[in-house]
């Protein structure tokens, strides 16, 4: 196994890399297209906004590289959102490998935006990525935009409305929460991904 972390400027890269090291995977941080294509597993981390995130991928020449990958690919937080077709955040065209549009949380009384904190997961589909996850297991979220719950959701969560917490479309997968900050649950999901 040779996992890589796509270096697209995400501020959570260090913590994701450390979480992988705790599982025995020393993922190389790279923006080199050849190394990304040759990897067994590709992780696209990200924190921030969709527009700047996509701009960094375009400037690094990685948009078509990521779109063409056939090995398991995992987007984390913003990285998951970038896998979708579009984001309402800045009306941004994203990678388009997951048939979804990322939407801003609606202003609902009693629900703050950004959504920050621990939320339980509701399993919606069987998939090796969510093996061993139990109904109600909690993950740590920090986000203002989310992928609506839909056919591609493996697990959903609630913040005024239901949204996709874990997604999969073919070899492209994503976690809206931060697995590196989600304790045993996050470690289990990363372990599941690395075993695909």
Q: Is 178 a catalytic residue?
A: yes
Tell me the C-alpha distance between 164 and 124, whole Å. Answer: 9
Cis amide leading into 178 (omega within 30): no
Of the candidates 84, 89, 143, 180, the residue annotated as catalytic is 180
Q: Which residues contact 82 (CB under 8 A, 6 or more apart)?
A: 44, 46, 50, 53, 54, 57, 75, 94, 95
| Residue 154: Cβ-neighbour burial (10 angstroms; 0-12, 13-18, 19+) | buried
Q: Is 84 a catalytic residue?
A: no
Nearest CA-CA partner of 137 in 193, 81, 177, 192: 177
CB 92 within 8 A of CB 51: yes
Q: Is 94 a catalytic residue?
A: no
Of the candidates 115, 143, 159, 178, the residue annotated as catalytic is 178
Of the candidates 77, 115, 143, 159, the residue annotated as catalytic is 77
Q: Which residue numbers are catalytic?
A: 77, 178, 180
């Amino acid at each position: 196994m040779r996992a890589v972390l796509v270096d697209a400027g995400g501020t959570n890269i260090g913590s994701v890399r450390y979480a992988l090291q705790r599982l025995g995977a020393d993922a190389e941080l790279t923006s080199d297209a050849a190394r990304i294509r040759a990897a067994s597993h590709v992780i696209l981390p990200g924190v921030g906004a969709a527009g700047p995130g996509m701009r960094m991928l375009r400037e690094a020449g990685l948009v078509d590289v990521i779109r063409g990958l056939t090995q398991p690919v995992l987007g984390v937080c913003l990285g998951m959102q970038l896998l979708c077709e579009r984001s309402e955040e800045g009306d941004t065209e994203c990678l388009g490998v997951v048939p979804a549009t990322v939407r801003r949380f609606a202003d609902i009384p009693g629900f703050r935006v950004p959504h920050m904190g621990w939320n339980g997961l509701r399993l919606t589909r069987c998939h090796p990525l969510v093996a061993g996850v139990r109904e109600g297991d909690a993950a740590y979220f920090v986000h203002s935009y989310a992928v609506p719950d839909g056919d591609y959701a493996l697990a959903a969560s609630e913040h005024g409305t239901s949204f996709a917490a874990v997604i999969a479309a073919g070899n492209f997968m994503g976690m809206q929460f931060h697995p590196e900050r989600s304790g045993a649950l996050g470690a289990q999901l990363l372990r599941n991904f690395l075993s695909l």
